[in-house]
Amino acid sequence: MRITVKVGTSTLAYPTGRLNIRHVEELVKVLSDLKNAGHEIVLVSSGAIGMGVGKLPLSERPTDMPTKQAAAAVGQCELMYTYDRLFTEYNHVVAQILITGADFDHADRKQNLENTMFRLLELGVIPIINENDTIATEEISVGDNDTLGAIVATCVKSDLLVILSDIDGLYTADPRKDHNARFISVVETITPEIEALAGGSGSSLGTGGMATKLRAAHIATEAGTDMVIANGARPEILYDIVDGKRVGTRFIGEGRA
Ligand code: GLU
């Protein structure tokens, strides 16, 4: 299987911006093991801004664009240094790919990206992708890595997209506020009712915006890719997801039901 895994800042770093060593080490170990088992792995990783905040003399996540860009430029180095070091321990080679939303709007740039990605996969490399935060100001950015993960997954024709977050998946209501909230383990069609679960003021179902995850699910499933939202606190969960077990919320790709 070709598997694209998107991992969010909440899994990779503590609120201080410092690396969550346990999560990152486990993630790299599981991804390396899945690769050893014969799967192809593409990793879409956030965390550049968060880690930049941890390294720079900044007390909190910046709100102004130049400081965000500066933090991302610093943090991206730390992020890749960490991945390179940890994947090397398991004899895997990684590549860094930084893209912006505009790259997908230009046929030639998109083609260049695809050529690079497919060649890297042929060479047995694990591409690690993030938005190019130095360049990607609002007008040209994808904006969030859930959507970026879905675009990348369809671009490389992944069989599966996994979004690792700080939530278990999709619920019928916010489980922290509503004891009757039911967990939804399979979504065969993204109906308006499902859509409605992501929106609404104050009803965000978990801290990692469900709206961007549903947008990602739309993009992935339309292209025939299954997408699973799962909790990244235990990266071993990826084994069960790849085995098709019922963990997290699985959105069934068109033509796969
Ligand atoms: N590109 C951002 C970063 O690396 C993350 C964007 C997102 O997680 O949605 O910090």
Compute, in angstroms, the gap from residue 249 CA to the centroid of ligand 1. 22
Asked whether residue 37 carries a pLDDT value surpassing 50, the answer given is yes
Compute, in angstroms, the gap from residue 55 CA to the centroid of ligand 1. 16
Domain ranges for the chain: 2-251
Considering the domain delimited by 2-251, tell me its CATH architecture.
3-Layer(aba) Sandwich (3.40)
Compute, in angstroms, the gap from residue 48 CA to the centroid of ligand 1. 6
User: What are the distances in angstroms from CA 144 to CA 76, 107, 137, 148?
Assistant: 16, 21, 12, 6
Asked whether residue 223 carries a pLDDT value surpassing 80, the answer given is yes
- Asked whether 47 lines ligand 1 (CB < 6 A), one says yes
- Asked whether 48 lines ligand 1 (CB < 6 A), one says yes
Categorize the per-residue pLDDT at 257 as very low, low, confident or very high, splitting at 50, 70 and 90. Answer: low
Output the average pLDDT for the chain.
90
Interval 67-92 mean pLDDT = 96
Interval 92-98 mean pLDDT = 98
| Of 132-141, 156-165, 229-238, the least confident | 132-141
pTM: 0.93
Asked whether residue 200 carries a pLDDT value surpassing 70, the answer given is no
Interval 68-81 mean pLDDT = 94
Tokens 């792995």, residue located: 41
Interval 52-75 mean pLDDT = 90
Cβ-based burial of 254 (10 A; exposed 0-12, middle 13-18, buried ≥19): middle
